[in-house]
Chain A
Amino acid sequence: MYKAFLIKYAEIAIKGKNRYLFEDALVRNISEHLEKVEGTFHVRKENGRIYVETEGEYDYDETVAALQKVFGIVGICPVVLVEDEGFESLAREVVSYVDTVYPDKHFTFKVDARRARKNYPMTSMEINAAVGEKILEAFPETKVDVHHPQVMIHIEIRPMINIYSTEIPGPGGMPLGTAGKAMLLLSGGIDSPVAGYMIAKRGVTIEATYFHAPPYTSERAKQKVIDLAKKVAEYAGAIKLHVVNFTDVQLHIYEKCPHEDLTIIMRRYMMKIAEHFANEGKCLGLITGESIGQVASQTMQSLAVTNEVCHMPVYRPLIAMDKQDIVTIAEKIDTYETSILPYEDCCTIFVAKHPVTKPNLKHIVKSEQRLGEEMEALVQKAIENTETMIVEAE
């Protein structure tokens, strides 16, 4: 029955002169997300409101699901838009709306009218009372409850009159493409896709780097990362993914350095390589899924030593989150099932039995000196042999 959706957005509304930039981005993003849904949609901006209007047949559930993946949207209200043809006509429309949307009439309600167009002949209070009466008349089983109504019927007098009573939550955040670009270090684990999602939610465009170590990591492990990128892309848009062949770098570290330092040194090189691609792609920062104390390489000491090689800011949105909270988000964005597939990633291959948990920067740097001049060439080779692909949502 709904032919339109009223899109609510929160934070954008408080922006100053740049507001139109954010709104335009949101309109653009909504249109893009709806391209994959069957049906014809028109997205338009009107006095601080965004409407999605449909033309002909469309799939309601798919439309809502698509809108729920557009960052910046706070609420999605399926709305009925009617021409202003006087109060009697409006009352009829509302009664018919209630009849269709609520087959069971045993509920309490409240009418909440607002006039964006102040020249309407009745005040908001008058509309509330009059429409409420009409509803009670038509459906005697219903009751008015002005404090805790089960159904809140919104009537907004705008150029067209808006009637709606449900608000489906959107993902929140800021419209994609309004905050620059960052490079995500993506592994096959639970955390990094969530980290990417969270930063993208603030409007940031995402690129990603994955470290592949054949034959120690399998083709399936790589496919798993591509699949994760696809899931994140459902929210974050197409992701440029760099697949770095890391085997020779890793083996060289393994050969030359004390084994308890392996993970830290490896992560420092991952940061360096990711930063290389980040610079190439004009990214403004790196993103990792690190969380304090989760594993040996994520103690504050380890993070400090890893961080030391980076020249750009490293965003760690999960830094203070517990594992269970991260899992909850992973489940919500549907990356969890993929993340727990049992393929080894390059971080777990050469883990020492007792990796250092409190590394000392001077010690690590000294340890790294054993890598010699060949290391530069190996890193260069890894960069040159990187496979870059664009991963789009399915």
Chain B
Amino acid sequence: MEAYLDNSATTRCSSKAAALMMKLLTEDYGNPSSMHHKGVVAEDYITDAAKKIAKTLKVQEKEICFTSGGTESNNLAIVGAARANQRAGKHIITSSIEHPSVSAVMAYLEENGFEVTCLPVDAYGVISLEDLKQAIRPDTILVSLMQINNEIGAVEPVSEAGALVKQMNPKTLFHVDAIQAYGKMQINPKKMNVDLLSVSGHKIHGPKGSGFLYIREKTKLLPIINGGGQQKGMRSGTENVPAIAGLGVAAEEIYTGFDGKITHMYELREHFITEAEKIPGVSVNGHKDRTNAPHIVSVSVEGVRAEVLLHALEEKQVYVSAGSACSSNKPAVSRTLKAIGLARSLLDSTVRFSFCAENTMDEIDYALEQMRTIIPMLQKYTRH
């Protein structure tokens, strides 16, 4: 049996999306900027994908800007907003548990004269609205928060944060990194007072190299990629039509039968947590109930190095991440785990299991069965 439980790293691409992409690569391969018929056909695919996506967010299709993925969306949102609004102020607020595609961009802006306030989180990885309220100033031009943390699955109060930001300073832009949240929660940017929202395609069974940034109408933003002026000048370069079309299909699919999928993932998660915690030395980080995301479980195992557990599970065809696979294979200490105050001894002993709706209870049971034999075996040979 195989159990792929690393869906927050990436997911299997939807067969329907893949089939459409094949057609676009080999048959309808036109450049959407071309004047002739083949160009028009290609453009139609983009419009269609934008429509599908806009529907899932209840926004307008022209507010969707396609990118190469989550990292580019976050870069465009943050750098673009900072550059476009720097005359109004140079203060930006973010949290201490952001993905590197946000935190590294913040560090870059800090080096370039911006002031960045980093909000702390509680032991469950959640920011405090009171802290946010205190941090907002007249010269705050941007607040950037993630909706679901990629390492422990903490759900941030972005809806309340949005309301608060706009109440304190209507001019402040609000960016949400929804890369782990899109497809796992119902998201309504308008109601949530979100101006910019980042999404990645390959986390929702779409293709790698696809993603988008929702840009609320009339938001002041400067592009980071300049050139031929595609996508209303916001992101130049010939559109990756196959990836965009694939993303459209994946977006539509992920929100079909949505409630059932979420319930299913919560059931997997709850069963997994209950059983995993029975193994001596195993503890779960973050909320165990449904205030946490349905698809992420962060597990610390006393006396076992994450990398070793990962490879031992891999031998049994159970695939997980050590910390966050998305932040490359450098064994660096996780900022998120540090921020929630995890014991030092567990920082290097934490693995992430992440589910998708396609996972079955049998797969979870299989993974648990492997853990029950592997963990005590590895604990026996703890490094002293």
Contacts and interface: CB of A to CB of B under 8 A. Distances in A.
Interface of A: 214-220, 251, 254-255, 259, 342, 344, 349-353
A217 B311 CA distance: 8
B312 A215 contact: yes
A342 B307 CA distance: 12
A214 B315 contact: yes
Q: Which 6 pairs from chain A and chain B are nearest by CB?
A: A215-B311, A215-B312, A218-B311, A216-B308, A215-B308, A254-B381
Nearest to B313: A215
Interface in B294-324: 307-315
B222 to A, nearest CB: 37
B384 interface: yes
Given A342-B330, A342-B331, A216 B311 contact: yes
A259 B307 CA distance: 22
B307 A344 contact: yes
Interface residues of B, number: 16
Given A342-B330, A342-B331, A344-B307, A215 B381 contact: no
Interface in B330-384: 330-331, 380-381, 383-384
Contacts, number: 32
Interface string B76-112: 0000000000000000000000000000000000000
B373 to A, nearest CB: 13
Nearest to A350: B383
16 contacts: A214-B315, A215-B308, A215-B312, A215-B315, A217-B311, A218-B311, A219-B314, A220-B329, A255-B380, A259-B384, A342-B330, A344-B307, A349-B383, A350-B383, A351-B383, A352-B384
A197 B381 CA distance: 36
A287 B308 CA distance: 30
A349 B313 CA distance: 18
A350 to B, nearest CB: 6
A353 B312 CA distance: 24
Contacts of B381: 251, 254-255, 350
A351 B314 CA distance: 24
Nearest to A220: B329
Given A351-B383, A352-B384, 8 more contacts: A215-B311, A216-B311, A219-B314, A254-B381, A255-B381, A342-B331, A344-B307, A349-B383
A254 B329 CA distance: 28
A267 B48 CA distance: 63
Interface of B: 307-315, 329-331, 380-381, 383-384
A83 to B, nearest CB: 58
A282 to B, nearest CB: 35
Interface centre among B313, B331, B383 (most CB of A within 10 A): B383
Contacts of B384: 259, 352-353
A215 B315 CA distance: 8
Secondary structure call for the A interface: loop
A355 to B, nearest CB: 12
Given A220-B329, A342-B331, A214 B311 contact: yes
A342 B331 CA distance: 7
A61 to B, nearest CB: 33
A171 to B, nearest CB: 34
A352 to B, nearest CB: 7
A293 to B, nearest CB: 24
Contacts of A352: 384
B329 A215 contact: no
Interface centre among B309, B314, B315, B381 (most CB of A within 10 A): B381
A218 B383 contact: no
Contacts of A254: 381
Nearest to B314: A215
A48 B86 CA distance: 74
A86 B383 CA distance: 80
Nearest to A351: B383
A215 B314 CA distance: 8
Interface centre among A215, A219, A353 (most CB of B within 10 A): A215
B331 A218 contact: no
Nearest to B377: A251
Contacts of B308: 215-216
A349 B382 CA distance: 10
Contacts of A353: 384
Nearest to A259: B384
Contacts of A214: 311, 315
Contacts of B383: 349-351
Contacts of A259: 384
A350 B309 CA distance: 15
A371 to B, nearest CB: 16
Nearest to A215: B311
B190 to A, nearest CB: 45
A218 B330 contact: no
Contacts of A220: 329
A331 to B, nearest CB: 21
A133 B67 CA distance: 69
Contacts of B331: 342
A218 B315 contact: no
Contacts of A349: 383
B197 to A, nearest CB: 35
Contacts of A215: 308-315
A207 to B, nearest CB: 27
Contacts of A217: 311
Contacts of B329: 220
B383 to A, nearest CB: 6
A179 to B, nearest CB: 39
Contacts of A344: 307
Contacts of A216: 308, 311
Nearest to B378: A215
Contacts of A350: 381, 383
A263 to B, nearest CB: 13
A21 B314 CA distance: 51
B309 to A, nearest CB: 8
A220 B331 CA distance: 13
Interface centre among B311, B312, B329 (most CB of A within 10 A): B311
Nearest to A250: B381
A351 B381 CA distance: 12
Contacts of B307: 218, 344
A344 B311 CA distance: 12
Contacts of B312: 215
Nearest to A352: B384
A344 B348 CA distance: 14
A262 to B, nearest CB: 10
A259 B311 CA distance: 24
B379 to A, nearest CB: 13
